Amino acid sequence: MLGILPIFAGLLACMPEWVPLGDPEKSRVDPEMNGYWFIPGDESFFGGVLVIEPWDKRTWLMLFVTLQEKDEVDIGDAEVWTYDGFVDYVSAAEFDEKDYEFGAVPYKAWLVRLKGALFFTWELRGIRDSEDDGMEPSAWIDLRIVEKQPDRLVLDMIDPDFEPLKEAPATRRGWERVVRRHIDEEELYFGELLELIRVRPEDRELFVELANHAMTQGE
């Protein structure tokens, strides 16, 4: 079944211990995945925006954008978790960005194919809490692309609590061996599928404005 954005956002907040699959130096971006994507939410939870832009020929720079109304805002019956409902709501004249909390999380991303299946690795990028944190990335998300169409992607996250992964060496090669061995087992994945819907050309400017606001909020 298709999952919902709150589950995904919750996983990102607690950041389970994933190990990155694939080598970004040996990957290649798929131009068909470039652009702006909408991630449906659930009832009362705004959908999100994922911006996928090539950084070089091997990797992408991505931005995961969320927004949530402040306590005093009443969204009424607006179906902001759907694509059309979201677009109608944020494009309305009465929509004021100051009434909403925006989030913007950057990632580096790349593809890897294992045993015929395509996986999408997200590497969290951002400012460290202290100088002691260093500059090396330390958090990743591994997702299998279970459906890929020009205007729709469906992803399933690997479950890092899958017992063979917990027992494997916490290295790329260690995890890739496990994934290859158990690639079609349901237990390897969370099972809450994440859907991405491509932003329509006529709505792109609206989504660009939202992403820009998320990156500059508080300035």
CB-CB contact of 142 with 157 (8 Å): yes
Q: Alpha-carbon distance 9 to 26, whole Å?
A: 29
At residue 2, the pLDDT reads 46
Q: Alpha-carbon distance 207 to 46, whole Å?
A: 14
- Bridge partners of residue 154, in order along the sequence: 147, 195
At residue 1, the pLDDT reads 42
Pairing mode, if any, of strands 48-54 and 35-39? antiparallel
CB-CB contact of 65 with 52 (8 Å): no
Q: What single-letter amino acid sits at 149?
A: Q
Q: Alpha-carbon distance 27 to 184, whole Å?
A: 23
Whether the pLDDT of residue 124 is over 50: the answer is yes
24: closest CA among 109, 106, 105? 109
Please state the pTM of the whole predicted model. Answer: 0.88
Q: What is the pLDDT of residues 178-193, one digit of tens each?
A: 999 999 999 999 988 9
Torsion angle, CA of 131/132/137/141, rounded to 10 degrees? -110
